[in-house]
Chain A
Amino acid sequence: MASRLPFIVIGPRPSLSNAAAISLLLLMLVMFAAAIGCIREDDLTLEQRSHQLAGQLMCPVCDGQTIDASSAQIAQDMRAKVRELLESGITNAEVKDYFVVRYGEEILAAPEGGGFNLIAWIVPFFIAFGGMAIALLTVRNLKRSHARSGGLASAGTGSAGLSEYLAQVDRDLGISDAATAGAAKTKSPKTGDPGPGKKEAS
């Protein structure tokens, strides 16, 4: 703990920041791609495939359970049917179609196909990437306001020299986080009054 004091670290590294932002977005992309590609049929046994499919079909009579989870008679029959259909050599999609024809789209545990149902899958993308983009833009804007105020925003926290001095004091007192938290409180101006940095900026 004592070996890491935030105040001693000095020097902005814009290249590092951009790298971080880009790698974060890339990582998200990789994860989404992986999630989409993760379920593969070919290396599974018929039994594994039928369980997987059973987990993707809803039990028509038991509120919100898949036939894989339900012990209801109809679920047992449907599981047997899934296995039978797979043994006849048809694909997973065809098995699903078989049940959709008989029970309607509601039988699928997740919306599938194009058209309207595609919205169900696109929205999470927008949420995740939109959220990410907002977060990164927020950081950038906050950084910019920092730059505009010519670093004066940090005058409230103390200049670099003072920070180091504070850190030295912390080290001498044998404390770090707890004390800086307390100290930060005593330093922060009273109710609602914008900090000195903010005042300079506006």
Chain B
Amino acid sequence: MADLGVMALLLGLALSAYSVIGSAIGVKIGMPALIVSARRALYMTTLAAAVASAALINAFVQNDFSIKYVADHSNSVMERAFVWVAFYSGNEGSLLYIVLALSIMSALAIRFAPKRMAPSMPWTIAVLAAVQLFYFFVLSFFASPFELLETIPVDGRGINPLLTHPGMFSHPPMLMGGLIAITIPFAFASGALISGNYGDDWVDVARVSAILSWGVLGAGLLLGAWWAYTILGWGGYWAWDPIENVALMPWLVLTAFIHSIMVQKRRGMFRMWNVALLNIAFVLAQLGMFINRGGPVVSVHSFASSTLGVIFLSFMLLSLVFAFGLFLWRMPQLKSERAMESFMSREASFLVNNFLLLSVMAVTLWGVVFPLFSDLARDVSVSVSAPYFNRANGPILLGIVLMMGVGPLLPWRKSSARSLKKWFIWPVAIGVLTIVVLVAFGVKRPVAIFSFGVVAFVATSIMQEWWRGTAARHRGGENWALAWWRLVNGNRPRHGGYIVHLSILMLGLGIIGTNFYQQRTDGALALGESLVIDNYRIEYVDNGNSNRPDRIAQWADLSIYRIDTADYATEISFARAQGSDGFTLKDSTPRPNDRLIGQIQPWHGFYPDFNMASVRSGIRSTIVEDLYVIPRDFLSDGRVSLAVSINPLAWWLWASGPFFILGTMVALWPQPAVERRPARSKVRTMAVGEV
């Protein structure tokens, strides 16, 4: 098996090398046969990557512990379903997964690229093949998953217990796949630039492939956050950890790209800018690979044992030089065809949104590298973590949300005072009204109140757009549902975008709620005791444990009661006097207004083989707030120590996921252009003549 895998990797290496050279030389000397064979070679790398992957997966299934990677990442008792997870759970396997994903995506991209791309395709293929070449090279010589062990162990070490969860079937592959997928739009843009075919032909393919990569990456990030919140039990969902950051940064740049590419599509502007954005996104994706594998920063996610840092750093720098060298070389040809006419135009607002997105990216990058600077400059280690990023990025993120409401309300080119009034009056009014109402109801935290106002403003702007469009169609005789459906279908990129915007607003609600209004308390409970926080009483009713060779688990059965705070007035005032929000109750006799509303079973596991603990929190979720209970520790005296928080609006974080995916799919869904658009254009051409 190992031999087959090694051979497949070497074959992939040879094929991708041939494809780069063949494609480039084929174009240079004008030899179509060579170009065609280079293209076919790139198709064949998919087969090579698939065979290598199949060999590794088979080795897992066969428990072939002569292979180091298999012995390190599985054992004979591992459930078969987790072979897929074990496959990419280590450094070498994840690289193989990446090259598999990239080769499949490359093959699909080449196969389905429109005919008019033909002049630049050889160069696109060369770029795709070059990236594959790098990964095959690393896999063959520096990080082979097929390395053999001298002495074959009786059993493997087993899979990392933190990964044995269904969430791990999709979160890591989506993130890695999304990151490497940035190669596709990058290759189309580079191909267009090298070939000198820098018209707008690449725009559509680049847009579609960028949205795909952006959607997968975004969904992967969201899934990771959800997984961290519901499973990992550390009480949060986003830690601004370096590895999270390096996945977020290319996503932000892609977000900028999929907006500004619309300006190029519609107005022929921002052509240089769009190429630059793809370059940045691609280089950042490579930075992510570097930091993930032997990078210099501390993270909970990284493959710490890796020595590949230098190789990945070199490739990142090479990408940087290639991408921006190409850009500078072709810059004179990338000028916009049209000029900007007004600040109050959609293209101007897109430019502002782009700079805000890039600012978040740059601030995040700065936060990631600052500890290195500090080390170098004054030999003092510092940490840059969530408090820094929340403060530095928070205001810019709010600005981005605000632009999400402003941009779509502005027409292309320029706007009149009359249209501004018409489109802004309601959103602004509702936004201000929200702020007034919140203040009137005595809600605290000015920044959060302002943020809620912004969210209301943007939500109203989207609803207004849908309302007016639907109403206009309804007046034309369509029923409401059909009218809305046709409205969305009439311009899917735009309305898909609105659905995604709504999902971002939902995410925003969750972020504001959990960051500004979270309540926390800690306490250790003996059986029968209760912890009271706000209007919840959490009673420790029972516990249990299970001991397996690989895992020692303990859990607590907790009953949650909704209480009337008046029943507990004495205790509450006593706790307040001590500076506490929550308190423990020895006596758990229910008071008159106590009402049982749920039961949770938070859980605590220890894996002796890995010396690793894993915590599963208990959550009672409603759309208003989550009651979130982390079992910190099961104490030797039989008490359980709990960390309890009330996370307002946390439900909305996860509700945004389906809308994000739906919106992305709507935006991507091909317009039925074949039947409809040509006919329209023809009528239009007949009506106005060729302009």
Residues of A within 8 A of B (CB): 1-7, 9-13, 16-18, 20-21, 24, 27-28, 31-32, 34-36, 38, 43, 45-48, 51, 55-56, 58, 62-66, 68-71, 76, 79, 86-87, 104-111, 116-117, 119-121, 123-124, 127-128, 131-132, 134-136, 138-139, 142-143, 145-146, 149, 153-154, 156-158, 162, 165-166, 169-170, 173, 175-192, 194-195, 197-198
Contact = CB atoms under 8 A, between A and B. Distances in A.
A9 B411 contact: yes
Given A4-B423, A6-B413, A46-B579, A181 B266 contact: yes
A136 B677 CA distance: 36
A117 B382 contact: yes
Interface in B291-342: 298-300, 333, 335-342
Contacts of B198: 191-192
B336 A184 contact: no
B338 A27 contact: no
A142 to B, nearest CB: 3
B458 to A, nearest CB: 14
A200 to B, nearest CB: 11
A142 B581 CA distance: 56
A51 B582 CA distance: 13
Contact of A169 (B299, B447, B633, B687): B687
Contact of A28 (B358, B395, B519): B395
B351 A110 contact: no
Given A48-B520, A58-B385, 8 more contacts: A10-B416, A35-B394, A45-B580, A64-B298, A64-B385, A127-B359, A127-B366, A184-B265
Interface in B374-418: 374, 377-378, 380-388, 391-396, 398-399, 402, 411-417
Interface string B591-631: 00000000000000000000001010000000000000010
Nearest to A201: B339
B337 A127 contact: no
A195 B199 contact: no
Report the 4 A-B pairs with minimum CB-CB distance, sorted nearest first.
A46-B579, A146-B339, A142-B340, A191-B199
Interface of B: 196-201, 233-236, 239, 241-242, 265-269, 298-300, 333, 335-344, 346, 348, 351-352, 354-356, 358-359, 362-363, 366-367, 370, 373-374, 377-378, 380-388, 391-396, 398-399, 402, 411-417, 419-420, 423, 444-447, 450, 465, 468-469, 472-473, 487, 490-491, 494, 519-522, 576, 578-582, 613, 615, 630, 632-633, 641, 671, 673, 677, 680-681, 683-685, 687-688, 690-691
A58 B417 CA distance: 52
Nearest to B491: A177
Given A65-B239, A108-B383, A162-B691, A197 B339 contact: yes
Given A9-B414, A108-B383, A110-B385, A27 B402 contact: yes
Contact of A116 (B269, B355, B377, B671): B377
26 contacts: A1-B469, A1-B487, A4-B419, A5-B411, A6-B413, A18-B343, A45-B581, A64-B298, A64-B300, A87-B579, A110-B391, A116-B380, A117-B382, A124-B359, A132-B356, A139-B343, A143-B339, A143-B340, A149-B339, A156-B337, A162-B688, A175-B680, A178-B671, A182-B680, A182-B681, A189-B337
A128 B400 CA distance: 12
Name the residue in A134, A154, A185 with the highest tally of chain B Cβ atoms < 10 Å from its Cβ: A185
B266 A46 contact: no
Contact of B416 (A11, A64, A116, A134): A11
B466 to A, nearest CB: 9
A132 B391 CA distance: 18
A105 B473 CA distance: 63
B395 A32 contact: yes
Contacts of A180: 266
Contact of A142 (B336, B420, B444, B630): B336
A186 B682 CA distance: 11
Contact of A131 (B355, B413, B416): B355
B300 A36 contact: no
Given A132-B352, A183-B681, A198-B337, A106 B413 contact: no
B668 to A, nearest CB: 15
A145 B579 contact: no
Contacts of B197: 191
A47 B521 contact: yes
B241 A120 contact: no
A166 B691 CA distance: 11
Contacts of A35: 391, 394-395, 447
Contacts of A48: 519-520, 581
B684 A184 contact: no
Given A47-B579, A182-B680, A194-B337, A13 B342 contact: yes
Given A9-B413, A38-B445, A177-B490, A76 B392 contact: no
A125 to B, nearest CB: 9
Contact of B341 (A63, A111, A143, A177): A143
A55 B285 CA distance: 29
Contact of A47 (B351, B386, B398, B581): B581
Contact of A4 (B411, B446, B630): B411
A28 B399 contact: yes
Given A10-B416, A135-B352, A128 B411 contact: no
B196 A192 contact: yes
A17 B344 contact: yes
A153 to B, nearest CB: 4
B632 A109 contact: no
A105 to B, nearest CB: 5
B342 A2 contact: no
Given A175-B680, A178-B490, A191-B199, A197 B395 contact: no
A2 B412 CA distance: 15
B688 A165 contact: yes
A55 to B, nearest CB: 7
A40 B690 CA distance: 64
Nearest to A9: B416
